[in-house]
A and B are shown apart, each in its own frame.
Chain A
Amino acid sequence: MLTSIKENHLTNKGQELGMMYFRVAIILFGAQLVMGLIAAIQFLAPGFLFELFDFSVARMVHINALVVWMLYAMIGATYMMLTDETGHEGVAIGLGKLGFWLLTAAVTVVVLVYIIVQVGPGTEASLWLIHEGREYIEAPRWADIGIVVVVLIFYFNVFATYMKGEKTGIMTVMVANLLALAGLYMAGMFYTDNISMDQFWWWWVIHLWVEATWEVFVGTLAAYALIKIIGAKREIVEMWLWIEVLMLFGSGILGMGHHYFWIGTPEYWWEIGALFSALEPVPLIAMFVHVLYDWGKEQGIAEGRGETASVITNGPAMAWIVTNAFGNFLGAGIWGFFHTLPQVNIYTHGTQFTAAHGHLSFFGAYATILIGMMYYGLQRAYGVQRMKLTFKSKMGIFLTTFGVMGMTIALTIAGYEQVIVERGEMGATWNAFFVAQNLPWYVQAQMWRAIMGVVTLLGFIYLAWDLLTIGKVSKEAEA
């Protein structure tokens, strides 16, 4: 991955910029896992790093690093496919590189402030200089404005290149979706004194990202990757994509109602949230079927021509994309549907069920396909015709997936115990919360979560090692 900086086979400057974004993304992914592990240990030993690096800080860096690395990887993936899809060199890649360095400098400063300063007094100055205190998007206001400037540069690059080049279906969805994705960020930039109103707008960013625009983004990446990696027919892939967009937006936008059940919004959100949330798994099933259908079909056509070789030209990327198809359905679909209906959600809301869903869906729906795109980028950077899975690739996939699944199951058990004891039996009182936190099932589940966190970190080490070496190994094998 690093060797590709000086010598590479990339065909355009946009892809070089894409690789720059991928490199920072993988570093932030590692930081996210380390912070998560610290927070997991603090669940078991609350005194660990107390008043030095509290749980609230570790958790804040953990979830913000998650969002930021994924945004980095998304921007990288977009630059990776921009010229391929439009047939036109990116119009302002130099400006894009400036944006990259500005964003990376800002992220570095923000993370250092999170780690060193941590918290400030409840004044405007804290909002401007330390953090805003909104989960997932806690960047201080100066960084918020900087992010908007950088994203505008990025969007200008994508939009202007699209306007000058070929307008494929994939790129049309990408351009329209990115406008929504970037625009929604601004809904989380202003403050109101009313917590219900504040949460109302905050969900516009979080929900409409992860259950609408990000899912559509994944759809476009999968469409592009299937064309490039298994030679799927564009017309078929784009037709799937349009149907997925219809279903994802059709269910996902009003599915936001499931976040409005208990925050002081009108009660009609119960019916709206319940109905559209219930529909949200349908496009995920479609995306799951789509990947497997295209793969089976292309392999069948190749075998019909008498070819014995696999149609897959990038083993690790395809393995991660197939993991995405399963992970998206399991994490976002099953673990989301568990507790999306208001009658159940009134008991599960804010328990470890939410954390279980969050872990598996962020990993299954987003991390997997973005890592797949990194492998695709490496294949292009090294000019390799066929990239095969190495031992490290397999260990990377197996250990991270096993670790995240393990964490999810452990957190589900902890959440189930909370639902039964804290909510069902003890009525969700303040005392009930602490009683439930100290019961053996909860404590043991948290212990297993920490163990599985270590397994995930080991998987990440294999993944990072593989990303650093697989290009050279594949190149030598082909020579």
Chain B
Amino acid sequence: MNELIVRPEITPDMFLPIFTISTLVLVFGVAYAATITLAKMGYFSKKWMNLGYLFWALQTYSLYLLSVWIQSEPFTSKVLMVTMLAYLFIPHLYFRLIEDSDRRYDSGNNIAEQKN
């Protein structure tokens, strides 16, 4: 016999918190990426990156709350948390790659200028 699939019952008063928390997941995500970006660009001092990590922590907590409120299975919740861990490193990986290609580009330019 097939396993019965039970629809997650969300009470009407939970929809607004769910929509709000899902928005916060992305807003905190952008705030994290923006803070790291602006600090790397030199608009902020590097110490402001700590604020970025606070945004990341808030994002992770919001995603955790979302997964609980929508009654995700424990496995799915764990996968989401692992994804958040990966998201912590993504901006750093980005800027590492940019700095490397900047160095390559600039050294290429210097060689071209020397030839001229």
- Name A residues whose Cβ lies closer than 8 Å to a Cβ of B: 233, 235-236, 239, 243, 267, 271, 274-275, 278-279, 281-282, 285-286, 288-289, 292-293, 296-297, 300, 329, 333-334, 337-338, 341, 343-344, 346-347, 416, 419-420, 424-425
Contact = CB atoms under 8 A, between A and B. Distances in A.
A355 to B, nearest CB: 16
Given A235-B105, A296-B43, A243 B15 contact: no
Given A282-B87, A296-B43, A344-B70, A289 B34 contact: yes
Nearest to B70: A343
B37 A236 contact: no
A297 B76 contact: no
16 contacts: A235-B101, A236-B102, A278-B80, A281-B29, A285-B26, A285-B33, A286-B94, A288-B30, A289-B33, A293-B37, A296-B43, A338-B23, A341-B66, A343-B71, A344-B22, A424-B10
Given A334-B26, A337-B25, A424-B10, A278 B83 contact: yes
A127 B26 CA distance: 43
**Interface of B: prevailing SS:** helix
A42 to B, nearest CB: 28
B28 to A, nearest CB: 11
B12 A239 contact: no
Contacts of B22: 337-338, 341, 344
Contacts of B41: 293, 296-297, 300
A271 B10 CA distance: 19
Given A346-B7, A347-B10, A236 B105 contact: yes
Contacts, number: 90
A416 B79 CA distance: 29
B18 interface: yes
Nearest to B41: A296
A297 B99 CA distance: 12
B19 interface: yes
Contacts of B26: 281, 285, 329, 333-334, 337
Given A341-B66, A343-B10, 13 more contacts: A236-B98, A267-B5, A275-B76, A275-B79, A279-B83, A285-B33, A286-B90, A329-B30, A333-B26, A337-B26, A341-B72, A416-B19, A420-B12
Contacts of B16: 416
Contacts of A297: 41
B8 A343 contact: yes
Interface of B: 5, 7-8, 10-12, 15-16, 18-19, 22-23, 25-27, 29-30, 33-34, 37, 41-43, 66, 70-72, 76, 79-80, 83, 87, 90-91, 94, 97-98, 101-102, 104-105
Contacts of A243: 94, 97
Contacts of B33: 285-286, 288-289
A286 B15 CA distance: 29
Contacts of B72: 341, 343
A297 to B, nearest CB: 7
Contact of B15 (A274, A275, A416): A416
A57 B51 CA distance: 52
B112 to A, nearest CB: 13
A233 B71 CA distance: 47
Contacts of B8: 343, 346
A274 B12 CA distance: 22
Given A289-B37, A300-B41, A420 B15 contact: yes
Nearest to B3: A267
A425 B11 CA distance: 8
Nearest to B63: A278
Contacts of A278: 80, 83
Contacts of A300: 41-42
In the A-B complex, the 4 residue pairs with the closest CB atoms = A343-B70, A424-B12, A343-B8, A235-B105
A425 B23 CA distance: 24
